[in-house]
């Protein structure tokens, strides 16, 4: 497979989205090597608490240890290969016990007991052999409570991998006077009938909202305007929807910043710093905790959302996160989470909850049209109507400094060009 | 004594511990059943505004994520809509550029198991079961679950919804695509 012939600086061959073999290579060379998001520490508060997840094609378990650390194990019994947990989440007590032959394991994966253990004497599986343990992720690390794992020993550290995209978690956590968030224990899971790349490209595609989301933006703007006319104001959540109908020129003025490893940010456009009493109380709490200057720095970050390539979109000002778990070249599971800022007024949670309910729920008035686009894109690319996907807009116009690409236009397809630069590096690694 | 007060005098019609169910008499039972059928037919017929008009001015349509949730405000939800938000949803799906509405799309509701929980003055609590089949392009999806309606009387003694709670039995399973209109 000649990957160089698929990735040109300004266009990508359609097979990157449709080819089953390329998908397998992506799982092997990207997902099963790089740092992949597992979950938040607050999902597993007590020893034995676990969540099941996938890293690439690998079924994994994130589990809280007796000593307080979080470990990530393969969800596979070393005896006959049966998955150790069959649920998405739960508490396994002090041990995992296999449902087939009752091999049991400590929470760190080490074998605890094997029934009729004498039967293994003088075999490879005699007690003490590490083959009797549940295999662990090669590396587990966390950043401000967000847990990641890598299935290989080599490669950049988590902080090297995240680079400047760690702003996703800093911006979220710094909005709490305690510097911490906790997960809201609900996960919306939505299947996308499309390649994972469409989601990642779409998240920083500032040209599409006023086209794709026109119907919702207009309908919301109408009600928002009527409320303002009648009562002088409209709650912020109407603007969550009406902002999608902003004109092309407005979107073009929103900058994207594109980092190494394919990460990137879309700058703020929604005006999420109103001056109502709840916000002012929140801001005062931050000033008390961090001092005037640092609090102001935290509150004035210019950020709508951050992409951590190739699977995470973090909307830190609204404390939400979407994580992709690819299933096949044309099928992707998205997991959609919301977080609470610790130590802030309930009203701040409720305000961001509107965004979770209106934009990110399975009855979303926004993503319904995105999903339709991506499905049709997947079908379109499977056709013989053309071989290439165009990323030419503002090609040659972007400003690169120190490996970071700043778009001069918000709608520049610099985002996609940067993502494919990272993709090619991953895919061509030995 | 009007029929509503008479209904409250009726004894529970099933053993304790298996869900509240009271006998409200054939007349009220029939009136509410017809109301629920009307609501389902308005959805299937895509008569969005007539459907919204079934709600009281303070009416809310709420689909929580899990049965344990008790408050529509402040809860992560699949739907949590007052009448203004319903108006936005109606406006959106009716817009010619609601792209996701372009494919062939129909629903078919069945309503059954209409059971009364209480009648207090003019406020009625009634639960029922539904099964909605949804056709989208050439694929049929199934959504099943329970409705719990809180109904009141309007100025003309007609029924109006103050809260429609919808518990999908498959609400925490992965959604294959999303929901665009009320269930």
Answer yes or no: are the C-beta atoms of A16 and A24 closer than 8 Å: no
A185: CATH: 3.90.380.10
- How large is the ipTM? 0.94
Residue % of chain B over a pLDDT of 90: 87
Q: What is the pLDDT of residue B171?
A: 86
Q: Are the beta carbons of A219 and B89 separated by less than 8 Å?
A: yes
Q: Are the beta carbons of A362 and B93 separated by less than 8 Å?
A: no
Q: What is the pLDDT of residue B2?
A: 47
Domain termination residue (choose one: A104, A131, A155): A155
The tokens of A421 are what?
A: 């630069």
Of all residues in chain B, the one with the smallest CA distance to A355 is: B76
Q: What is the pLDDT of residue B11?
A: 64
Q: What is the pLDDT of residue A196?
A: 98
Residue A126 pLDDT exceeds 90: no
Centre a 10 Å sphere on the Cβ of residue A342 and count the other Cβ atoms it contains.
Answer: 15
Size of interface A-B (CB pairs under 8 A): 103
Q: Are the beta carbons of B76 and A357 separated by less than 8 Å?
A: yes
Q: Are the beta carbons of A350 and B90 separated by less than 8 Å?
A: no
Q: What is the pTM of this model?
A: 0.95
Co-location of A185 and A308 in the same domain? yes
Q: Are the beta carbons of A215 and B178 separated by less than 8 Å?
A: no
Of all residues in chain B, the one with the smallest CA distance to A237 is: B85
Cα–Cα distance list, A226 to A221, A222, A232, A235 (Å)? 8, 6, 9, 12
Q: What is the pLDDT of residue B18?
A: 80
The tokens of A59 are what?
A: 């079924």
Q: Which of B81, B100, B167 should we substitute to test contact with A (largest number of A Cβ atoms within 10 Å)?
A: B100
Residue B3 pLDDT exceeds 60: no
Measured CA to CA, the distance from residue A199 to residue A268 in angstroms comes to 19
Co-location of A136 and A206 in the same domain? no
Co-location of A235 and A309 in the same domain? yes
Co-location of A302 and A333 in the same domain? yes
The shortest CB-CB distance from A223 to any of B65, B87, B173 is to B87
Measured CA to CA, the distance from residue A163 to residue A308 in angstroms comes to 10
Domain termination residue (choose one: A155, A185, A220): A155
A394-422 pLDDT per residue, tens: 999 989 999 999 998 989 999 999 999 99
Q: What is the pLDDT of residue B5?
A: 47
Query: How crowded is the C-beta side of B108, counted as CA atoms within 13 Å?
Result: 6
Query: How crowded is the C-beta side of B10, counted as CA atoms within 13 Å?
Result: 22
Shortest Cα distance from B179 to chain A (angstroms)?
5
The shortest CB-CB distance from B178 to any of A222, A349, A363 is to A363
Partners of A50 in the β-ladder: A63, A90
Answer yes or no: are the C-beta atoms of A57 and A27 closer than 8 Å: yes
Strand order in the sheet with A95-97: A95-97, A104-106, A111-113
Q: Which of A186, A242, A322, A356 should we substitute to test contact with B (largest number of B Cβ atoms within 10 Å)?
A: A186
Domain termination residue (choose one: A95, A130, A155): A155
Answer yes or no: are the C-beta atoms of A80 and A137 closer than 8 Å: no
Assess if residue A2 is contained within a domain. no
The shortest CB-CB distance from A357 to any of B77, B103, B177 is to B77
Answer yes or no: are the C-beta atoms of A135 and A84 closer than 8 Å: no
Q: Are the beta carbons of A219 and B76 separated by less than 8 Å?
A: no
Higher pLDDT, B140 or B1: B140
Q: Which of A187, A218, A357 should we substitute to test contact with B (largest number of B Cβ atoms within 10 Å)?
A: A357
Cα–Cα distance list, B67 to A60, A240, B145, B170 (Å)? 28, 28, 11, 11
Assess if residue A109 is contained within a domain. yes
Partners of A320 in the β-ladder: A315, A338
Assess if residue A183 is contained within a domain. yes
Co-location of A230 and A345 in the same domain? yes
Q: What is the dihedral of CA B136, B137, B139, B145, to 10 degrees?
A: 0
> How many domains is chain A built from?
2
Q: Are the beta carbons of B98 and A373 separated by less than 8 Å?
A: no
Mean per-residue pLDDT, A187-206: 96
Measured CA to CA, the distance from residue A104 to residue A94 in angstroms comes to 10
User: CA nearest A54: which of A393, A407, A332?
Assistant: A332
Co-location of A144 and A173 in the same domain? no
* Mean pLDDT of the residues in chain B: 93
Centre a 10 Å sphere on the Cβ of residue B77 and count the other Cβ atoms it contains.
Answer: 24
Co-location of A135 and A238 in the same domain? no
Co-location of A127 and A187 in the same domain? no
Three-state DSSP class for residue A188: strand
Residue A306 pLDDT exceeds 60: yes
Model confidence band, residue B16 (pLDDT cutoffs 50, 70, 90) = confident
Measured CA to CA, the distance from residue A48 to residue A95 in angstroms comes to 7
Mean per-residue pLDDT, B100-108: 95
Write the DSSP symbol of residue B13. Answer: S
* Mean pLDDT of the residues in chain A: 95
Task: Please report the beta strands in A122-240, taking only residues with DSSP state E, as ranges in sequence order.
Answer: 139-143, 146-150, 181-183, 188-192
Co-location of A236 and A365 in the same domain? yes
B17-50 pLDDT per residue, tens: 788 899 999 999 999 999 999 999 999 999 999 9
Residue A190 pLDDT exceeds 70: yes
Q: What is the pLDDT of residue B10?
A: 58
Measured CA to CA, the distance from residue A263 to residue A278 in angstroms comes to 33
Shortest Cα distance from A377 to chain B (angstroms)?
13
Number of residues written out for chain B: 183
The shortest CB-CB distance from A191 to any of B80, B90, B174 is to B174
Contacts with B103 from chain A: Cβ below 8 Å:
372
Q: What is the pLDDT of residue B19?
A: 83
Answer yes or no: are the C-beta atoms of A311 and A263 closer than 8 Å: no
Q: What is the pLDDT of residue B1?
A: 40
Answer yes or no: are the C-beta atoms of B76 and A353 closer than 8 Å: yes
Cα–Cα distance list, A56 to A162, A418, B25 (Å)? 18, 22, 59
Antiparallel, parallel or unpaired: β A11-13 and A388-390? antiparallel
Higher pLDDT, A182 or B4: A182
Contacts with A188 from chain B: Cβ below 8 Å:
65, 78, 175
Q: What is the pLDDT of residue B40?
A: 98
Q: Are the beta carbons of A219 and B84 separated by less than 8 Å?
A: no
Measured CA to CA, the distance from residue A146 to residue A40 in angstroms comes to 5
Number of residues written out for chain A: 430
Domain that holds residue A336: 163-428
CA B148, B153, B159, B160 torsion-angle sign: negative
Model confidence band, residue B7 (pLDDT cutoffs 50, 70, 90) = very low
Shortest Cα distance from A333 to chain B (angstroms)?
8
Higher pLDDT, A126 or A324: A324
A2-54 pLDDT per residue, tens: 899 999 999 999 999 999 999 999 999 999 999 999 999 999 999 999 999 99
Q: Which of A89, A362, A371, A379 should we substitute to test contact with B (largest number of B Cβ atoms within 10 Å)?
A: A362
The tokens of A190 are what?
A: 């939505």
The shortest CB-CB distance from A361 to any of B77, B84, B97 is to B77
Interface check for A220 against chain B (CB to CB < 8 A): the answer is yes
Co-location of A226 and A260 in the same domain? yes
Interface check for A349 against chain B (CB to CB < 8 A): the answer is yes
Q: Are the beta carbons of A215 and B89 separated by less than 8 Å?
A: no
Given the candidates 3.40.640.10, 3.30.2350.10, 3.10.20.30, 3.10.450.50, the CATH classification of the domain at B25-64+74-168 is 3.10.450.50
A53-84 pLDDT per residue, tens: 999 999 999 999 999 999 999 999 999 999 99
Co-location of A168 and A316 in the same domain? yes
User: CA nearest A34: which of A155, A137, A146?
Assistant: A155
The shortest CB-CB distance from B91 to any of A188, A222, A372 is to A222
Shortest Cα distance from A355 to chain B (angstroms)?
10
Co-location of A79 and A175 in the same domain? no
Antiparallel, parallel or unpaired: β A188-192 and A331-341? antiparallel
Assess if residue A118 is contained within a domain. yes
Measured CA to CA, the distance from residue B56 to residue A389 in angstroms comes to 50
The tokens of A81 are what?
A: 């290969």
Q: Are the beta carbons of B66 and A186 separated by less than 8 Å?
A: yes
Residues of B with CB under 8 A from a CB of A: 63, 65-66, 73-80, 84-85, 87-93, 95, 97-100, 102-103, 173-180
User: CA nearest A201: which of A48, A413, A32?
Assistant: A413
Query: How crowded is the C-beta side of A5, counted as CA atoms within 13 Å?
Result: 4
Assign residue A324 a region: left if phi > 0, alpha if psi is -120 to 50, beta otherwise?
Answer: beta
Interface check for A327 against chain B (CB to CB < 8 A): the answer is no
Centre a 10 Å sphere on the Cβ of residue A167 and count the other Cβ atoms it contains.
Answer: 20
Following DSSP, what letter does each residue of A208-269 receive, concatenated? SHHHHTHHHHHHHHHHHHHHHHHHS---HHHHHHHGGG--HHHHHTS-EEE-GGG-EEE---
Assign residue A44 a region: left if phi > 0, alpha if psi is -120 to 50, beta otherwise?
Answer: beta
The interface residues of chain A toward chain B in range 221-240, judged by CB-CB distance below 8 A, are 222-223, 227, 238
Q: What is the pLDDT of residue A1?
A: 74
Write the DSSP symbol of residue A162. Answer: H
Q: What is the pLDDT of residue A368?
A: 96
A100: CATH: 2.102.10.10
Q: Are the beta carbons of B77 and A184 separated by less than 8 Å?
A: no
Termini Cα distance of chain A: 14
């Amino acid at each position: 497979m000649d990957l160089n012939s698929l990735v040109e600086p300004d266009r990508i061959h359609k097979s990157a989205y449709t080819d089953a073999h390329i998908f397998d290579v992506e799982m092997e060379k990207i997902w099963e090597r790089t740092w992949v998001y597992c979950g938040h520490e607050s999902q597993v508060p007590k020893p034995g608490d676990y969540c099941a997840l996938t890293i690439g094609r690998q079924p994994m378990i994130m589990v809280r240890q007796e000593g307080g650390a979080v470990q990530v194990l393969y969800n596979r019994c070393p005896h006959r290969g049966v998955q150790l947990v069959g649920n998405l989440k739960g508490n396994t007590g002090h041990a995992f016990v296999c449902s087939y032959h009752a091999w049991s394991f400590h929470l760190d994966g080490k074998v605890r007991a094997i029934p009729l253990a004498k039967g293994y004497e003088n075999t490879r599986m005699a007690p003490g052999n590490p083959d009797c343990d549940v295999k662990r992720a090669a590396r587990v690390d966390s950043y401000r409570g967000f847990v990641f794992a890598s299935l290989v020993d080599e490669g950049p550290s988590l902080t090297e991998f995240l680079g400047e995209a760690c702003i996703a978690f800093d911006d979220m956590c710094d909005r709490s006077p305690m510097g911490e968030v906790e997960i809201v224990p609900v996960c919306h899971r939505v299947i996308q009938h499309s390649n994972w790349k469409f989601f990642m490209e779409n998240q920083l595609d500032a040209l599409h909202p006023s086209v794709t989301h026109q119907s919702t933006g207009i309908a919301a703007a109408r009600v928002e305007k009527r409320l303002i006319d009648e009562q002088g104001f409209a709650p912020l959540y109407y603007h969550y929807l009406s902002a999608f109908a902003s004109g092309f020129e407005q979107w073009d003025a929103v900058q994207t910043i594109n980092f190494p490893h394919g990460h990137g940010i879309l700058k703020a456009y929604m005006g999420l710093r109103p001056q109502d009493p709840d916000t002012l109380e929140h801001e005062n709490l931050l000033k008390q905790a961090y001092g005037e200057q640092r609090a102001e720095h935290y509150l004035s970050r210019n950020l709508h959302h951050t992409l951590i390539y190739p699977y995470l979109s973090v909307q830190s000002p609204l404390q939400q996160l979407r994580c992709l778990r690819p299933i096949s070249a044309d099928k992707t599971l998205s997991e959609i989470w919301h977080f609470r800022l610790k130590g802030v007024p309930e009203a701040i949670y409720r305000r961001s909850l509107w965004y979770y309910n209106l934009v990110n729920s399975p009855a979303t008035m926004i993503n319904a049209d995105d999903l339709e686009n991506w499905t049709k894109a997947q079908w379109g690319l499977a056709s013989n109507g053309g071989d290439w996907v165009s990323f030419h807009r503002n090609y040659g116009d972007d400003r690169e400094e120190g490996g970071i690409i700043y778009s001069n236009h918000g709608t520049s397809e610099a985002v996609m060009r940067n993502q494919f630069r990272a993709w090619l590096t991953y895919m061509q690694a030995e | 004594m009007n029929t509503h007060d008479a209904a409250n005098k009726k004894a529970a019609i099933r053993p304790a511990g298996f869900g509240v169910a009271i006998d409200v008499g054939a007349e009220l039972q029939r009136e509410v059943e017809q109301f629920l059928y009307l609501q389902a037919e308005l959805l299937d017929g895509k008569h969005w505004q007539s459907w919204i008009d079934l709600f009281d001015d303070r009416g809310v349509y709420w689909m929580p994520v899990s049965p344990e949730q008790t408050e529509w405000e402040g809860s992560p939800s699949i739907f949590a809509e007052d009448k203004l938000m319903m108006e936005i949803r109606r406006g959106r799906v009716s817009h010619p550029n609601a792209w996701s509405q372009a494919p062939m799309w129909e629903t078919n509701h069945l309503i059954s198991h209409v059971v009364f929980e209480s009648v207090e003055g003019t406020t009625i609590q009634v639960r029922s079961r539904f099964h909605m089949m949804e056709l989208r392009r050439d694929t049929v999806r199934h959504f099943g679950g329970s409705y719990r309606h809180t109904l009141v009387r309007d100025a003309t003694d007609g029924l109006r919804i103050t809260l429609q709670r919808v518990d999908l039995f498959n609400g925490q399973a992965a959604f294959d695509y999303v929901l665009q209109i009320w269930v």
